[in-house]
Each structure stands twice: as C-alpha cells, then as structure tokens.
Amino acid sequence: MNKKLLSVLQYIIFLGLGIFLVWWSMRKVSDKDWEDIQNAFRNANYWLLLPVITALLLSHYSRAIRWKILMEPLGYKPRISNTYMAVLIGYLANLAVPRLGEVLKCTALARYEKVPADKLVGTIVAERAFDLICLAIVMTIAIVTQSDIIGPYATGLLNDILGSKTSGLSATKIIILLAIVVIGFAGAWYVFKKFSHISFIYKIKRIVQGIWQGLTSVRYVKSKGWFIFHSVFIWAMYLVSVRIGMYAMQETTVYGTKESLSVLSTGSIAMIITPSGIGAYPLLVQETMALYGLKESLGLAFGWLMWTVQFFQILISGFVALALLPYFNKKQKESHAQSGHHPKQDLHTSGAD
C-alpha cells in the first residue's frame, strides 16, 4: 500500500476515534451537568492559565536542549534558538498528522543548521524511548503514593478481568495470564528470528531495535547529568502545568500534587491514543478526577479546559516559530555577511546562542 495513503488512513482512524470519544463523553451530559460545566467555565480564573502556558513553553525549551545534547555525539551543535523553534514546529505538525512533527522538526533544523536530517532519526527514537520511561516512572509514583485510592480501582479492574465469582482473584486466571505473557514474548522472539525476511515483520523488528538502540544511545552522551536533569525537568514542568491548572477552576482548587500526578499520567496516555489527545484527554481526566470524588461533569470541564490550553499553546507558539525561524536565520546570515564570517564555520562550534 502507498505510504502516503497508509498515513492518511491511519490519521483518519485515530481522528475518528478522537471524535467518537468526544461524542461518547458528551452523550451522557445532562442539562444539569451542562449548567455545571458552564458555571465552571464562567467562574474560572483564566489569568492562571498564563503560568500554565509558561511552564509548557519551558518544558519545550528544556526538550530542545536535551535534543541538542543527543546530537553532540554526532558532531553537531546547532544553535539552541533554531532547535527550540524546530521543536515547536514539530508539535504544531503533530496537531495535523501524528508523528509528522518528528520528521518536520528534523527537516526544519537541517535546513538552517546543515545537519543531515537522516542522522537525527536516532535522536528522535532516543527521545521517545526516554519519554516512555519517564511516563512509566510518573505512573509508578502516582500508584505508590496513592495506593489507598488507585489501589482499589486497579484491584476492581483486575477482579473484572481475572476475578472468580466466589473468591476474588482467580489463581488459575492469573497463571493463565502469566503464561500468555511468557508465550507471547517467546513467540515474538521466534517470529523476529525466523521470519524477519517478511517486510511487515522486518519493520516491527526495526521499530523494537530502534527503541532499544535509543535507550542505549545515552551511553555516548557526554553530558549525561544534564541529559537526566532535562528529562526530569520536562516532566516536572508538565506536572507544574497541571498543578497550577487545578487552581483555575474553583471546584478543583482543593486538589493537590498527588491528584495532579494522576491527571498527568492519564493525560499523557490520552495524547498517545488520539491526535493531540482530542476526545481522549478530557474523558480520561474526567475518569481520573472521579476517583477523588469530583463530579463527572466538573471533571470533564477541567479536562476540556486543560486540553484547550495545551492545544492553543501549541497552535500559537508553533505558528510563531514557523514565522520567526527563517527571519532569525536571515538576520544572522546578513550579520555574518557584513562581518565577513561564513555561517558554515559555526556548524560544529555554535550552540552558545
């Protein structure tokens, strides 16, 4: 199948899922719930959304620095201004087509920094691999620190899936599940080894290998401490944005960091499920906040508020970066021309910008 057609179909499917989730979450909203949602939005403190946006922009800036650190073993040190704007453009592109942003931010940076775009693919894989690790850590912290709340919820899900009618969790079902997991891993290893000549199997194998190579590539990074610092800072800013966002609605001001951790966890999963989290983000935030006793309609309102802020932050900052990137580089090129200095000389030396 043509790759472009496959990408279009994939986008339509995931966008359709997002629209379905929007409908699914709205269909249960009664007239009284709509009134609660409208009141929540009417009484919200929208000035507090400015520090939310600031925290998100700082996380993106930190991501740009971390990306630059990953490029250093390749021998490239692009200017941080270009790297930051390329990251913002990448987020903007992802609003339109999932994963298009990963390609576009590489090509945007390559255009102005003379860094081969194909050599940046490994750094993107490394970024995504470490983001998955960070998400897993955030989710683990949320579960461990709130076992009294999340524990019963998780146990209820396990009972629904693995429970017996008489004595809670069924040992037989647990053993069967573990056996399925072990057989699944063994089967995947066998398939990858024996049938890697098949195009589809080969692509999946390459993806798995790419993730593993991305995880292990950090050993080549010179500034490992700074790499870890920025990885933590990125997610800390995500948490700060949610925590401040809690104060924007009167009904959520009583909640704290633990609840914000849970929202960050489920919200991040939502961003993976549908393009930019449309539909999925408000729905999962609603379900999460319901665990803490927040009325479903108010949880949905909070979810839509946070999603809307993130959406427009990416939209506006992305378009600004798209406009400024060529302008800044044109100005710098003119400055180099006037001073008699050629910009290509900065290919491996620039970066203090």
- In this prediction, residues 162-176 reach a mean pLDDT of 57
Percent above pLDDT 70 for the chain: 71
- Does 5 reside within a domain? no
- Asked whether 71 and 115 are in contact (CB, 8 A), the reply is yes
Which has more pLDDT, 206 or 24? 206
- Each residue's pLDDT tens digit, 86-112: 999 999 888 877 677 788 888 888 888
Q: What 8-state DSSP symbol labels residue 249?
A: S
Provide the number of structural domains found in the chain: 1
- Does 3 reside within a domain? no
- Does 353 reside within a domain? no
- Asked whether 276 and 11 are in contact (CB, 8 A), the reply is no
- In this prediction, residues 38-58 reach a mean pLDDT of 90
What tokens appear for 249 in the block?
Answer: 């609605």
Given a cut of 60, is residue 308 above it in pLDDT?
Answer: yes
pLDDT tier at 54 (50, 70, 90 boundaries)? very high
- Does 263 reside within a domain? yes
Q: How many CB atoms lie within 10 A of CB 42?
A: 7
Percent above pLDDT 90 for the chain: 26
pLDDT tier at 28 (50, 70, 90 boundaries)? low
For 277, the domain range is: 31-346
- In this prediction, residues 341-347 reach a mean pLDDT of 48
Those residues with Cβ within 8 angstroms of residue 72's Cβ, 6 or more apart along the chain or in another chain: 221, 222, 223
Whole-number pLDDT of residue 53 = 95
Given a cut of 50, is residue 345 above it in pLDDT?
Answer: no
- Does 2 reside within a domain? no
- Does 150 reside within a domain? yes
- Does 63 reside within a domain? yes
The predicted model scores a pTM of: 0.76
Q: φ, ψ for residue 163 (rounded to 5)?
A: -75, 155
**What is the Cα–Cα distance from 152 to 86, expressed in whole angstroms?**
43
| Single-letter code of the amino acid located at 152 | P
- Does 326 reside within a domain? yes
- Each residue's pLDDT tens digit, 197-247: 677 677 676 666 655 665 566 677 888 889 999 999 999 999 999 999 999
